[in-house]
Amino acid sequence: MILDQTEQEIQSPAQRFVLPIRIYYEDTDAGGIVYHASYLRFMERARTDLLRHLGHERSRLSSELKVQFVVTGMTIKYVRPALLDDLVQVSASVKSLGYARLIFDQTVERNGEVLTKASVTAACVKVGGIKPAVIPKSLREKLKGLM
């Protein structure tokens, strides 16, 4: 499904959150091919917007609940290149949910073709101390519903 760049959605039954992103010159190398590190930014946006879609903006997590998420690991596979002006769909789904960490499956696709796929591990930590923290119950229940 191709979405307008301002749209985002949770897709069923896979429960994937999908964020459309247009590829701009700043995302590419001199040859118009997306630079490998740009995919990390795209995936970060999808994870952040997934949390926002669930009603848990990062600023609220930090200021009210005194927690934040940090990436502790990632496995990424680059399958095919995205190119300047492409409209890609960046997805995030919850693969595994623990008390203080979660694992996301993420893909970057163009018209249904997988370009990049990754498994991203994120830990919930206390703001300021960077010590493990339990994922807030309200968020945990919503994340469970995506599995």
- Looking at residue 26, what DSSP letter applies? G
Structure tokens at 21: 């992103």
On whether the CB atoms of residues 67 and 125 are closer than 8 A, the answer is yes
Question: Of 103, 122, 118, 96, nearest to 42 (Cα)?
Answer: 118
Q: Indicate if 4 belongs to the active site.
A: no
**Are the beta carbons of 47 and 108 closer than 8 angstroms?**
no
DSSP 135: P
**∠63-67-72 over CA atoms, to 5°?**
140
Q: Which of 4, 27, 29, 105 is catalytic?
A: 29
* Rounded CA separation 51/48 (Å): 5
Catalytically annotated residues: 29
